[in-house]
Amino acid sequence: MNEERHGTRRSGGPRKAQEIFDATLDLLAEKGYEGLTIEGVAQRSGVNKTTIYRWWPSKGALLGAALIGARQLDFTPPDTGSLTGDLEALLHTVVTLLTTRPSSDIAVSVLGAATQSPELGAHVREFFADRIALERPVFDRAIARGELTEDTDLTLLMDLLAGAAWVRIVLRQLPLGEDFVARTVGTVLHGARPRT
Amino acid sequence: MNEERHGTRRSGGPRKAQEIFDATLDLLAEKGYEGLTIEGVAQRSGVNKTTIYRWWPSKGALLGAALIGARQLDFTPPDTGSLTGDLEALLHTVVTLLTTRPSSDIAVSVLGAATQSPELGAHVREFFADRIALERPVFDRAIARGELTEDTDLTLLMDLLAGAAWVRIVLRQLPLGEDFVARTVGTVLHGARPRT
């Protein structure tokens, strides 16, 4: 894991930024966005309220920083040597995020709140822009290996993979089946239509 | 539109079921699941509270019935003559649902609430099971035309298509681009990997 990925280094912040981010995400998972307050974060993290306000003037700004900076959501892109292996690893990460507590509660709370609060919405957009930037090397290597063409829409591929997991787990609330990851990646890479 | 699709016929209910369902979904869009009450639905629809309780003993049960029975969410599967055309029409329906008010507010509120309330979660599962049953003829015709094989996982195809729209619109909150629907269906049918 690259030290530069940590929030304190990347986005600036007080010395106990990780404790603040952890408290922010824990409270979000427990109480939802409505129940998240800077006062509650101060209490949980043991950091003075005024210190938190000095760095993040609102709970939207604080949650935005926590999404990108928190260890809990830290992310290292896979490098398995093949596009199929890398995409399966990426999809496994999404599946784990959505089927494990507290990250599944965090994901659903953030999603619901992001559509209500324009400020948080902007931070969620930053979070996803950050993720796709981290995922880009996977696609660059696949293009170099000749597994994808240069005009591939990598955002669309990630939307298809992550979206299938979201719909199956969060919306349909159905079990995944043990071959979900392999089938999903296989369909996105090779298509549903039979080869002629 | 098939009369059997209407909620009053399909799930039973009082004479003014459509007005009750409309009021339920409108209030959900305005106030979220927390703010939805049977009292509020009674007031908005002009139907006596005790009448509503007689048919639906809780707001979870009422919302479940409204999801499947409401005209606002009524759905007729496409029949364009080709799988590509049908899937593009299905994806257009999802995109319209997620980019138009109040249906986009309804969708996000239901999603957030379904994960918090096990009772509503069960009704949301029913809603999606109902949708996939309505979509099945699209896939049966494609198999009959030789466009798909019999072992095609139609739920996975719908999860990929609808999921890409959810992630792009609700999570990333990015514009779709005018060719989003065609590119997404094209990738799911033909795959991202270049043909060799």
Q: B81 in the Ramachandran plot: left (φ > 0), alpha (ψ -120 to 50) or beta?
A: left
Considering the domain architecture, whether residues A92 and A186 belong to the same structural domain is answered as yes
With CA atoms as reference, the chain A residue closest to B118 would be: A173
**Is the residue at B183 inside a domain?**
yes
**Rounded Cα gap, residues B119 and B125, in angstroms:** 10
B124 & B181 share domain: yes
* Number of folded domains that form chain A: 2
CA distance B153 to chain A (A): 9
Asked if B86 and B48 sit in the same domain, the reply is no
Write the burial class of residue B114 (CB in 10 Å: 0-12 exposed, 13-18 middle, 19+ buried): buried
Q: Is B173 in Cβ contact with A125 (below 8 Å)?
A: yes
Question: What number of other Cβ atoms are within 10 A of residue A157's Cβ?
Answer: 24
For residues B62 and B36, the answer to whether their CB atoms sit within 8 Å is no
pLDDT of B116 strictly over 80: no
- Same domain as B9, residue B66: yes
**Quick one: pLDDT at residue A196?**
60
Using DSSP's 3-state secondary structure scheme, residue A12 falls into coil
φ, ψ (nearest 5 deg) of residue B47: -105, 140
Q: At what angle do helices B154-166 and B118-144 cross, to 10 degrees?
A: 120
Per-residue pLDDT in tens (0 to 9) along chain A, 196 residues: 343 444 344 446 788 999 999 999 999 988 888 889 999 999 999 999 999 999 999 998 999 999 988 887 788 999 999 999 999 999 999 999 999 988 888 888 887 777 777 888 888 888 999 999 999 999 999 999 999 999 999 999 999 999 999 999 988 888 898 899 999 999 999 999 987 6
The domain boundary residue, chosen from A49, A71, A93 = A71
**CA–CA–CA angle A174, A128, A53 (5° rounding):** 110
What is the pLDDT at residue B196? Answer: 61
Please give the residue range of the domain that contains residue B151.
Answer: 75-190
Q: Are B80 and B64 within one domain?
A: no
Please report the beta strands in B28-112, taking only residues with DSSP state E, as ranges in sequence order.
none
- A164's tokens: 């299938």
- End-of-domain residue from the set B71, B104, B131: B71
Output the pLDDT for position B166: 93
Instruction: Decide if B148 contacts B156 (C-beta within 8 A).
Output: no
Calpha distance A167→A174 (Å, rounded): 9
In a domain, B195, yes or no: no
Per-residue pLDDT for B185 more than 50? yes
Q: Is residue A168 part of a domain?
A: yes
Question: B187–A156: do the CB atoms touch at under 8 Å?
Answer: yes
What is the ipTM, given to two decimal places? Answer: 0.87
Q: Which residue of chain B is at minimal alpha-carbon distance from A34?
A: B34
Of B133, B130, B126, B15, the C-alpha closest to B63 is B126
The per-residue pLDDT for range B134-162, each reduced to its tens digit, is 999 999 999 999 999 999 999 999 999 99
Q: Are residues A94 and A162 in the same domain?
A: yes
pLDDT in tens, B91-114: 999 999 999 988 888 888 887 777
List, for residues B58-82, the tens digit of each pLDDT value. 998 999 999 988 887 788 999 999 9
B196: in domain: no
When scoring A167, A178, A188 by the number of chain B Cβ atoms within 10 A, the one with the most, hence best to mutate, is A167
